[in-house]
Structure 1
Amino acid sequence: MKSGIVTILGRPNVGKSTLLNYLVQRKISIVTPKPQTTRFRILGVKNLKDAQIVFADTPGFHLAKSALNKYMVNVALKSLDGADLVYLMVEVNDYIGEEYPELLKHLKGLTIPVFLVINKIDMYKEEDILKTEEIFRSLYDFKEVFKISALTGKNVDSLIEKTVEYLPEGPAYFGEGEITDLPFNLQVAELIREKLYLLLKQELPYETAVTVEEIKERENGVLYINAIIHVAKETQKGIVIGANGSMIKKIGTATRLELQEILKKPVYLDLQVRVEEDWPKLEGKLKKLGYIIE
């Protein structure tokens, strides 16, 4: 039996969450076109015949300024602790910028294998893929290089096979049937936040957070969920609610329907909006909303 933790690192929007969801064949990490969607380390468990791989999806690495962004970068880097292998995930034609040299500084001291995983090969020409590989190989001595499409699954099976080869022998971390360590209340909060990102086109989603206050099954079998959408300014409250409550109704309906599909039971989702002034900039308010600063 082999087992181990594989940390997936990379800049925002390179496809880390899409890969995690494909690997475990279930939506665990929310996915939107907006950068910095992932705010937590999210584990996904893949059980094979003679191995268990625990994949850690992480927030996108970037040069952080606000308290929230610094928290996310810290989460990504702390996810290297205890890892047995790292995927540095990039996309074809990814630009180096200042982020990659900074990120590679943290990888150069590691004694564990680091794979370069080049994503979105289904969208680019072969010459672009090869050029991307050449550039990143010049920056770091990767143990293996894989060119994949996390969306279609192309070459992902080969990536998994090679990953198992590098993992140490050991017992399973999770029991059969367990595929994530994400608590249910946080899964619900993340689904709501995903709908905020998808339905609100402005920059507003970056200043929204969601907390689930209550989950209770009623006598009639309906699962009651009360959740709060937190915004950073009074003016943002009206945007989330929308004219005559139209936007918050869309957010609630989209989330409720997805939850009912997952749970196979009726759900009543009670959504409210609350102003938490300038919360992304203040560490104390990040802690209040469930973001832990270490």
Structure 2
Amino acid sequence: PGMHKPKNSLGKYMVRSVNESVGGVDCCMLVVEADKSPVQTELDFIDKFKALGMPAILVINKIDMIKDKEILMKQILEYSKLYDFEAIVPVSASDGNGMNELLEELKNQASEGGHFFEDDTLTDQPERVIASEIIREKILRLCNAEIPHGTAVVIEKMKTRENGILDIDATIFCEKESHKRILIGKNGAMLKKISTFARQDMERFFDCKVFLQVWIKVKEDWRNRAQLLQNFGFDESNFD
């Protein structure tokens, strides 16, 4: 909500994914910014709610930035006229104000789903996806805020030796040479941390010894290039 009209394939894919997923949920949560009138994207989502008769909760964020609460009341009234929301919850993600109330409203809307997997099933994701997400999680934890969102992790090889050791070769793709230098770190210290922590988590998850090798490559503007996105696991139909 509130985003500009997407100008690239990934942006169109994200909006399409949200629209396609609306029909299969118990309730939708529309997050808007305090003291801002509805933009077209938000109006489109509200039209989708109306068409499906979908329960929805409106979350008004950044209320800590508003000194005159009358402004907030006018915004609540404006959105109330657009749709009959199940609840309208003002919050501040920065200081936590209203978050407990939001969680309660979400719990009220949630319904118990079917039993789709065995009790001992941890995840339905392929092992390569799990391995790549473990590496990316370490990047998120250890690197600058500007770096992780411009990275993708591809598992090039995943093979078990006869002695039970799992060999994993992974490539981290980033957008800039400066990002590559940060990911490598002084004398390779950052890359060593990422690899070591990722390997330890992989060994716990896969319950075996893991030999992990990680490389870093620069692919400028990869998020706007459909062919590269396909290589990273996106389907070609997402970029029509």
Identify whether the pair has TM-score above 0.5, normalized to the shorter chain. Answer: yes
Give the AA of the match of 1:65. Answer: K
Cα distance in 1, alignment partners of residues 60 and 212 from structure 2? 39
User: What SS is found at the alignment partner of 1:112?
Assistant: coil
Give the AA of the match of 2:211. Answer: Y
2:29 to 64, 88, 108: 88
TM-score under structure 1 length normalisation: 0.59
Q: CA 1:246/1:145 → structure 2, altered by over 3 Å: closer, same or farther?
A: same
TM-score under structure 2 length normalisation: 0.70
Greater percentage in strand:
1
Matches for 1:10-25 after TM superposition, within 5 Å: none
Are the aligned partners of 2:158 and 2:168 in contact in 1 as well (CA < 8 Å)? yes
Cross-structure match for 1:209 = 152
Q: CA 1:178/1:105 → structure 2, altered by over 3 Å: closer, same or farther?
A: farther
Q: CA deviation at 1:111?
A: 2.9
> Is 1:75 aligned with 2:22?
no
User: What SS is found at the alignment partner of 2:234?
Assistant: coil
- Any idea what the Cα deviations from partners look like across 1:154-210, whole Å, max 9, x if unmatched? 46466445432xx8xx95444434464332321222232233233332633333211
- Any idea what the Cα deviations from partners look like across 1:103-128, whole Å, max 9, x if unmatched? 3343332233334467899xxxxx79
Cross-structure match for 2:188 = 245
Q: CA 1:183/1:240 → structure 2, altered by over 3 Å: closer, same or farther?
A: same
User: What SS is found at the alignment partner of 1:182?
Assistant: coil
Q: CA 1:63/1:96 → structure 2, altered by over 3 Å: closer, same or farther?
A: farther
Cross-structure match for 1:189 = 132
Q: CA deviation at 1:272?
A: 0.9
> Is 1:268 aligned with 2:211?
yes
Seq. identity, %: 34
Q: CA 1:207/1:110 → structure 2, altered by over 3 Å: closer, same or farther?
A: same
Cross-structure match for 1:163 = 110
Are the aligned partners of 1:259 and 1:267 in contact in 2 as well (CA < 8 Å)? yes
Q: CA 1:65/1:221 → structure 2, altered by over 3 Å: closer, same or farther?
A: same
**Any stretches of 5+ residues in structure 2 without a counterpart?**
64-68
Matches for 1:24-39 after TM superposition, within 5 Å: none
How many residue pairs were aligned? 229
User: What SS is found at the alignment partner of 1:290?
Assistant: coil
Cα distance in 2, alignment partners of residues 222 and 147 from structure 1? 51
Are the aligned partners of 1:214 and 1:226 in contact in 2 as well (CA < 8 Å)? yes
- Any idea what the Cα deviations from partners look like across 1:85-136, whole Å, max 9, x if unmatched? 2321538858556353343343332233334467899xxxxx79x8586665
Q: CA 1:100/1:248 → structure 2, altered by over 3 Å: closer, same or farther?
A: same
Greater percentage in helix:
2
User: What SS is found at the alignment partner of 1:65?
Assistant: coil
Q: CA deviation at 1:287?
A: 1.0
1:255 to 191, 194, 198: 198
Q: CA deviation at 1:143?
A: 3.5
User: What SS is found at the alignment partner of 1:176?
Assistant: coil
Q: CA 1:171/1:254 → structure 2, altered by over 3 Å: closer, same or farther?
A: closer
Cα distance in 2, alignment partners of residues 266 and 135 from structure 1? 58
1:109 to 44, 51, 59: 51
Q: CA 1:161/1:154 → structure 2, altered by over 3 Å: closer, same or farther?
A: same
Cα distance in 2, alignment partners of residues 91 and 285 from structure 1? 32
Q: CA 1:200/1:87 → structure 2, altered by over 3 Å: closer, same or farther?
A: same
- Any idea what the Cα deviations from partners look like across 1:222-268, whole Å, max 9, x if unmatched? 43322111123455433322232122112222322333444454433
Cross-structure match for 1:278 = 221
Q: CA 1:251/1:262 → structure 2, altered by over 3 Å: closer, same or farther?
A: same
| Larger-Rg structure | 2
Cα distance in 2, alignment partners of residues 194 and 176 from structure 1? 26
Q: CA 1:137/1:223 → structure 2, altered by over 3 Å: closer, same or farther?
A: farther
RMSD of aligned C-alpha atoms?
A: 4.1
Give the AA of the match of 2:181. Answer: G
Cα distance in 2, alignment partners of residues 279 and 199 from structure 1? 22
